[in-house]
A and B are shown apart, each in its own frame.
Chain A
Amino acid sequence: MQRRRRWAWGLGIATASALTAFGVASWQANAAPNPAPSTAAAADAPRVSDPQPGPEAAAGTGADPLTTDEVGKARAAALTPELARKSTDVTGAAGPEYLSIELAEEGDARTADVYFYDYKTDKLVKQVVDLRTGKVAGSYSAAGMQLPASDREVQTALDLLMADPLAAELKSAYQQATGKTLAGKDGLTVTAHVFKARPADAATKQCGKHRCLQLVVQSKDGTFIDANDLVIDLSGRTVARLK
């Protein structure tokens, strides 16, 4: 075994020096950052660069996230006069409910996918905006399709719940969890997720076709308030109990 090793090492000498030479040359040509010094201390605590963020660019390139400007322009373009006229938002007013925007994942052109929910037809609307031309390049809609809730939808759901007789259950859960009386919705921090009815859900069976939310409720000091059995149907503007 030792004999073979020695032999292998002997062969290695020439190759090693050749490779060392090429290695140094290519580092210089590459102008890459120097590897950290090979001292034990440096190896134990490797560092990465810590660039300071500059001001946000007006427009992104390639895979950059959509900039504030691009989001503004894409939203404006996506809300075509026809869409604005024919749809309603979560408050019942004219115009669709704006949900989210994202950079389209494929293709070379920078394209924004803008998502709305139309409460009049209970459809998810996707407007594809070409950021170079500022024009809508595609328009799609489908029923029974739900994306995460917008902040305004969460607040609307909370308002509907607070105005419903089932608010008594939230208030009693709040009392139980915090030992205090819930003064109003300002005492709560709320997030939500979309709820789609399962086969056994009789009282909420329209959820999925309708846009429904379940709330995750916390008191201002972070205590979770159990509101899991309460489902708010934003399309029907009703509140129901799961069981």
Chain B
Amino acid sequence: MNYRKIAAGGAVLALAGLMLTGTPAHAKAPAAACAGSNQVKETLPNGTTWQLCWRMQPQAGLVLEKVAVSYKRYPQQLLVLDSIRLAQLNVPYDSGETEYNDITDYGFGGGFLETLTGDDCKGGSARTGSDGAATPRRRKILCVSAEPSGLAYRSHDWDAQGREKVYNKLGHDLVLRSISKVGWYEYVTEYRLHDDGQISARLGATGDLSPGDYVNSSRGWPIGKNARDYASMHYHSAFWRVDFNIDGKNKDKVEQYDTKPDGRGPATAKLKTTKTDIAKEGSFNRANRRWWRVVSDTSKNTDGHKRSYELSVGADDKYEGHPETTPDVTFTQSHACEKYASGNADPQCATKKTIIDFAKDKETLKDPVMWVRVGFHHVPRDEDQSPMPLHWQGFDLTPRDATNMNPLTPDGRTSQNGQPR
């Protein structure tokens, strides 16, 4: 049986999992991904284990590297990401007077990074590490916690005697969180690693409204008594830089899927789905039913399907203020000095200032980097005073065929693979 073979090899490979993910071209034995204090390895109640390295960068703040997952049912560790981190945060005010670039003009690391205190990490483990400052200090700056994520699944079943049974399970997330204070805003950088393999990246904003940006009624919202103090509407438009390396093979490709009306069937409209290979650098925009995935060209699950992760973006306000803030997603070939979606300032590649510059030469995507933009147009409300309730923006990376079935499948359902026949 196929399963048994995989399982037998799986246990051994899992131990060496991260060691195997180095670039194949490198002749020497690859070094460990990171030392103990910068490694997070936790097993959630359903048996899913996430392992990764973390550190703080002066501008980007929290960086996760070598993010890998294994499951009780699939113990062979699967590398998913080489790295994920923020890549810009534009905060333009609707007055057109002010725009802050909180990552490239301030930074989420160093002195802007908050030491965790009080309820910041209640119920979790506050980890100590370097804050990434010019003169680094070791402080409690990363919160690691496991949090219930609600019902993971539910399904009815009947036994041979016709007795009813319900499969249901509470899910959990491994949550990594850091806090950066930039001016009056306090931002939460958060990654939720779900026990079903999903990765959620979110940015939360709290703190207080800008004390100085008050405008007229068409660009603000009255937050004090009567109609006097109109707090300026503004954006928090964020970019993340996501560098996949599915199964450590360095063979990732990008695909776009579109589903369009295709005439009518007897009951309703027919829809047709087509795939477009994205072989070269470029920027792309959302459309109804459009989605993208990063798929390994060589790593397959036991059903013979290529392993992939799909980008899912939820609520999003597009910020059209600049050419580089307009596209929803940009794929570029990985280059070390292409670090920030805008305001990229590296003398080693002085002409590469934004993702538009990075993608301009339409390079072939051999090691694709995904730049995801998610915006939140913040219309202040009375409740924003004070402190402001956290508001969130972000996206999900959902496994698609990373495992041949739901990695949390209960024992009674393991035969449910493919069309029942």
Assess the A105–B339 pair: CB atoms within 8 A. yes
List A residues 46-80 near B (Cβ within 8 Å): 46-51, 53-54, 56-57, 60-68, 71
B44, B46, B73, B411, most chain A CB atoms within 10 A: B411
Distance (whole angstroms) from the CB of A236 to the closest CB of chain B: 19
Residues of B within 8 A of A65 (CB): 38, 55-56, 129-130, 132, 136
Assess the B412–A16 pair: CB atoms within 8 A. yes
Given A32-B43, A61-B34, A71-B135 in contact, is the A9-B350 Cβ separation under 8 Å? Answer: no
In the complex the two chains form, what is the Cα distance from A80 to B12 in whole Å?
48
Residues of B within 8 A of A23 (CB): 7, 72-73
1/0 contact string of A13-43 vs chain B (CB within 8 Å): 0011011101101110110111110100011
Assess the B162–A2 pair: CB atoms within 8 A. yes
A156 beta carbon closer than 8 Å to chain B? no
In the complex the two chains form, what is the Cα distance from A178 to B156 in whole Å?
65
A43 contacts which of B112, B128, B134, B170 (Cβ < 8 Å)? B170
In the complex the two chains form, what is the Cα distance from A48 to B350 in whole Å?
44
B234 beta carbon closer than 8 Å to chain A? no
In the complex the two chains form, what is the Cα distance from A140 to B192 in whole Å?
38
Assess the A228–B98 pair: CB atoms within 8 A. yes
Of chain B, the residue at the smallest CB distance from A4 is B420
A36 contacts which of B45, B112, B156 (Cβ < 8 Å)? B45
A18 contacts which of B4, B147, B346 (Cβ < 8 Å)? B4
Residues of B within 8 A of A140 (CB): 346-348, 350
Assess the A191–B34 pair: CB atoms within 8 A. no
Given A51-B36, A193-B105 in contact, is the A224-B66 Cβ separation under 8 Å? Answer: no
A180 beta carbon closer than 8 Å to chain B? no
Of chain A, the residue at the smallest CB distance from B26 is A108
In the complex the two chains form, what is the Cα distance from A134 to B293 in whole Å?
41
1/0 contact string of B31-55 vs chain A (CB within 8 Å): 1111111100011111101000101
Residues of A within 8 A of B348 (CB): 126, 128, 138, 140
In the complex the two chains form, what is the Cα distance from A100 to B128 in whole Å?
21
Residues of B within 8 A of A88 (CB): none
Distance (whole angstroms) from the CB of B248 to the closest CB of chain A: 14
Assess the A48–B124 pair: CB atoms within 8 A. yes
Of chain A, the residue at the smallest CB distance from B140 is A53
List B residues 129-181 near A (Cβ within 8 Å): 129-130, 132, 134-136, 138, 144-148, 156-160, 162, 170, 172, 174
B387 beta carbon closer than 8 Å to chain A? no
A-B contacts at CB below 8 angstroms, number: 232
Assess the B55–A126 pair: CB atoms within 8 A. no
Residues of B within 8 A of A2 (CB): 158, 162
Residues of B within 8 A of A57 (CB): 35
Residues of A within 8 A of B276 (CB): none
Distance (whole angstroms) from the CB of A177 to the closest CB of chain B: 8
Assess the B347–A26 pair: CB atoms within 8 A. no
A162 beta carbon closer than 8 Å to chain B? no
Of chain B, the residue at the smallest CB distance from A23 is B72
Assess the A6–B336 pair: CB atoms within 8 A. no
Assess the B346–A126 pair: CB atoms within 8 A. yes
B415 contacts which of A11, A50, A63, A107 (Cβ < 8 Å)? A11
Chain B interface size, under 10 / 10 to 19 / 20 to 34 / 35 or more = 35 or more
In the complex the two chains form, what is the Cα distance from A25 to B172 in whole Å?
24
Assess the A151–B345 pair: CB atoms within 8 A. no
In the complex the two chains form, what is the Cα distance from A37 to B276 in whole Å?
46
A146 beta carbon closer than 8 Å to chain B? yes
Assess the A26–B10 pair: CB atoms within 8 A. yes
Residues of B within 8 A of A32 (CB): 14, 43, 49, 70, 75
Given A26-B10, A61-B34 in contact, is the A146-B345 Cβ separation under 8 Å? Answer: yes
Assess the B58–A102 pair: CB atoms within 8 A. yes
Assess the A141–B160 pair: CB atoms within 8 A. no
Assess the A123–B347 pair: CB atoms within 8 A. yes
A4, A9, A98, A224, most chain B CB atoms within 10 A: A9
Residues of B within 8 A of A (CB): 1, 3-4, 7-8, 10-12, 14-15, 22-23, 26, 28, 30-38, 42-47, 49, 53, 55-59, 65-66, 70, 72-73, 75, 83, 98, 100-101, 104-107, 110-112, 123-125, 127-130, 132, 134-136, 138, 144-148, 156-160, 162, 170, 172, 174, 182-184, 211-212, 334, 336, 339, 345-348, 350, 411-416, 420
Given A5-B158, A9-B159, A42-B45, 16 other A-B residues pairs in contact with their CB atoms under 8 A? A19-B73, A26-B75, A32-B43, A45-B123, A46-B148, A48-B144, A60-B38, A61-B34, A63-B65, A65-B132, A98-B134, A104-B336, A126-B346, A146-B105, A148-B58, A191-B183
Listed by A's residue number, 22 A-B pairs whose Cβ atoms lie within 8 Å are A6-B160, A7-B420, A9-B159, A12-B412, A12-B413, A19-B414, A25-B11, A30-B14, A46-B44, A48-B125, A48-B145, A61-B34, A61-B35, A64-B38, A66-B130, A100-B58, A101-B58, A108-B26, A124-B347, A146-B345, A191-B111, A191-B182
Q: Kindly list the 4 A-B residue pairs having the minimum CB-CB distance in the complex, ordered from nearest.
A: A29-B11, A46-B146, A53-B128, A142-B347
